[in-house]
Amino acid sequence: MPAIIITASQLAAFGTTWINNKGALSRTPPYSSSDLGKVFDTAVANALAQMLGNIPVIRPNPNDLLPQHHNCVELGPVRVIGGVRPQNFDVGYRPDGIRFAFDSKTLNDAKSVGKNWQNMVNDLATEATTVHTRFPHAIVAFMVVIPTPCLVGSNRVAMVDTLERISRRIGIDAPNHLAEAISLALWDPHTGSIDPNLPDSSSILRIEQFSTQIEQAYTSRYKGLPPHVN
């Protein structure tokens, strides 16, 4: 799976908006928090489609329980009826039931990070659980996207430790609340760049490791199975 590359030019306008809004993004376009998530969603969908053989990327109808094309990546909202609750994901691949489900999560100001990050972690665990209880072979992945200035002090350490703890579900017998891959993408509003130092280069949360983790999990579970030929 190709690496997920988010360029400074893609994030520059979000940074300008964040600065002009005194350290926050709006919930309404343009350059809103949801627009920011879509930048990462699109990059993941395109990379996944390339890994799967350059298959099409299609936008589904929100309530569709089956894909519109027999072999496509869907760029949200992707409806999954899980073991806990129905859930919409931002990216999905479901040729025979869900094989890959991805959500991006954005926290965009210091107050939101301090107040909501633990609730966000609960959401990640619940989303992973609702997929894995019905589809234990499925790959569930997340990206958490936060401006670097908003994640400081004890919250930074606690979030990194917590996300690392619930990531890397290697085998299908691992706990359902774990995810196969999680990336913590911290970005600098002043430059638009993904932070090269946080998380640490050795962390499994680095965005550079995201695609490798997904490809390894997908290959171990689905190599040689239809619709793939090898």
Tokens representing 39? 């930048």
**Nearest to 226, CA basis, from 47, 52, 49:** 52
pLDDT in tens, 103-142: 999 999 999 999 999 999 999 999 999 999 999 999 999 9
What does each C-alpha distance from 177 to 87, 96, 101 come to in angstroms?
15, 22, 14
Judge whether 16 lies within some domain: yes
Judge whether 188 lies within some domain: yes
Judge whether 3 lies within some domain: no
Confidence of residue 153 (pLDDT cuts 50, 70, 90): confident
Structural domain total, the chain: 1
Q: Phi and psi at residue 144, in whole multiples of 5°?
A: -105, 120
Give the model's pLDDT for residue 142.
98
Q: How far is CA 106 from the centre of its chain?
A: 10
Residue-number span of the structural domain to which 170 is assigned = 8-222
Judge whether 227 lies within some domain: no
Judge whether 228 lies within some domain: no
98 touches 80 (CB < 8 A):
yes
Judge whether 115 lies within some domain: yes
Judge whether 173 lies within some domain: yes
